């Protein structure tokens, strides 16, 4: 009886060992595919990586993850029997993705090692853009490249030019003019009258010597077509007006004013809604010449800023402060506001001060 039980135990153990030593193996037709060069308008590109189960147990592809949203993977979801085949499909979407690409797909299965990484690559030839894509701002039959002419940094001592393309998409000649143009700005279309289908240029000149502002400034200009002002449509012109330190000598730079602020961030902590909250940023002139605060700007009308001697020099070694009043209004939760300070310090001509708060609004009455 004991002998029979021993033999039966060996049979059970043998079955268990065989089950535990069973293997799952995945053989791939390739681990990389090159789609080559193709046009964007060709649309989605698809390739099948063929999977063969060369193990002794069923193969299960548990998950497949692409490295970006431009690639969509599909795969055989049911277990693949021994000797049978399945597939992993890589689908690449080239829309708005011109140029070379190389993407990976990670395959997770009941195999070791896991995951297996597949690669797809290629190069997308961008589609030829339409007039609507090239000229995005439409005013009647005239289309501009944009509704925003940006001059970026403009020194307070200079005049700067910028141009922008436009096109007449109408069937009639159109004369383009600009209305409500400020004194520091000149705008014209060249040619002034565009024939049907003709392209031209908006030519802009920004004279910073005629603008008393500092930092980021913008103007809204109206457009006239054939003498008619186009209502409710504006052409935006922006610039960042900065001080010109290029003419300073080495000696002048070494003896320049230095704007040294105690802290660039003030945290008001928890405050109530619809309250006025005062903050103060203390600073000192650590330089050797008078420090001038050119301008102060906040990121919203909810923050009022002032500096008692703005525009008046702070003597070397003297201290002063910039005060701000934050109206918490209807804000709720974490709030961050910025105050821009423009000075004649060559190394700190634009300084950003931050004001933070956690605003609590009263509970709504039911």
pLDDT digits (tens, 9 = 90+) for 106-128: 999 998 767 899 999 999 999 88
CA dihedral (102, 108, 111, 114) positive or negative:
positive
Residue 26, judged by CB atoms within 10 A of its CB (0-12, 13-18, 19+), counts as: buried
- Rounded Cα gap, residues 247 and 39, in angstroms: 52
Three-state DSSP at 331 gives coil
DSSP 314: B
Confidence of residue 20 (pLDDT cuts 50, 70, 90): very low
**351 pLDDT exceeds 60?**
yes
pLDDT value of position 262: 94
* Six-digit token string for 27: 């053989």
- Rounded Cα gap, residues 308 and 75, in angstroms: 70
Strands 199-207 and 185-190: antiparallel
Q: Among residues 211, 215, 208, which one has the least CA distance to residue 339? A: 215
Give the residue carrying structure tokens 């300084």. Answer: 351
- Rounded Cα gap, residues 312 and 307, in angstroms: 10
Of the given ranges (16-30, 32-46, 97-111, 120-134), which has the lowest mean pLDDT? 16-30
* Six-digit token string for 348: 């700190």
- Rounded Cα gap, residues 330 and 336, in angstroms: 14
Domains, the chain, ordered by start: 21-125 (2.60.40.10), 131-242 (2.60.40.10), 254-360 (2.60.40.10)
Give this prediction's pTM: 0.67
Who's near 231: CB < 8 A, 6+ residues apart? Answer: 222
Q: Taking residues 254-271, what's their average pLDDT?
A: 95
DSSP 42: G
Of the given ranges (3-17, 180-194, 195-209), which has the lowest mean pLDDT? 3-17
pLDDT value of position 12: 35
- Rounded Cα gap, residues 82 and 85, in angstroms: 9
CB 58 within 8 A of CB 79: yes
**1 pLDDT exceeds 50?**
no
**15 pLDDT exceeds 50?**
no
Residue 17 or 169, more confident = 169
- Rounded Cα gap, residues 312 and 309, in angstroms: 5
Query: pLDDT tens-digit profile of 288-323?
Result: 999 999 988 888 878 878 765 555 689 999 999 999
Q: Among residues 237, 164, 228, which one has the least CA distance to residue 201? A: 164
Strands 185-190 and 137-139: unpaired
Who's near 141: CB < 8 A, 6+ residues apart? Answer: 168, 169, 170, 171, 172, 174, 225
């Amino acid at each position: 009886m004991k002998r029979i039980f021993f033999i039966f135990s060996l049979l059970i153990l043998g079955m268990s060992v065989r089950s535990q030593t069973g293997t799952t193996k995945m053989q791939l037709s390739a681990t990389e595919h090159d789609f080559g060069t193709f046009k964007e308008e060709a649309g989605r590109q698809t390739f099948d990586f063929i999977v063969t189960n060369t193990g002794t147990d069923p193969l299960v592809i548990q998950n497949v993850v692409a490295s970006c949203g431009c690639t969509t993977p599909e795969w055989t979801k049911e277990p693949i029997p021994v000797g049978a085949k399945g597939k992993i499909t890589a689908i690449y979407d080239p829309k708005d993705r011109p140029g070379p690409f190389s993407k990976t797909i990670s395959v997770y299965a009941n195999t070791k090692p896991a995951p297996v990484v597949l690669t797809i690559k290629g190069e997308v030839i961008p589609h030829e853009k339409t007039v609507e894509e090239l000229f995005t701002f439409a005013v009647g039959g005239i289309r501009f490249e944009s509704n925003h002419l940006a001059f970026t940094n403009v020194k307070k001592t200079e005049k700067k030019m910028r141009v922008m393309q436009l096109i007449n998409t109408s069937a009639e000649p159109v004369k383009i003019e600009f209305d409500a143009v400020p004194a520091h700005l000149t705008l014209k279309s060249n040619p002034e009258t565009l024939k049907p289908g003709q392209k031209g240029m908006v030519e802009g000149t920004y004279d910073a010597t005629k603008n008393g502002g500092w930092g980021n400034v913008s103007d809204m200009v109206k457009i006239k077509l054939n003498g008619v002002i186009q209502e409710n449509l504006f052409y935006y012109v922006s610039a960042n007006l900065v001080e010109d330190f290029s003419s300073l000598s080495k000696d002048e730079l070494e003896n320049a004013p230095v704007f040294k602020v105690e802290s660039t961030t003030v945290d008001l902590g928890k405050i109530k809604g619809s309250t006025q909250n005062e903050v103060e940023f203390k600073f000192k002139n650590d330089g050797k010449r008078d420090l001038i605060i050119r301008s102060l700007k906040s990121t919203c009308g909810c923050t009022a800023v002032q500096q008692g001697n703005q525009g008046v020099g702070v003597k070397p070694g003297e201290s002063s402060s910039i005060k701000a009043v934050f109206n918490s209004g209807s804000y709720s939760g974490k709030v961050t506001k910025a105050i821009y300070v423009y000075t004649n310090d060559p190394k700190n001509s634009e300084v950003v001060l931050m004001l933070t708060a956690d605003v609590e609004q009263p509970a709504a009455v039911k």
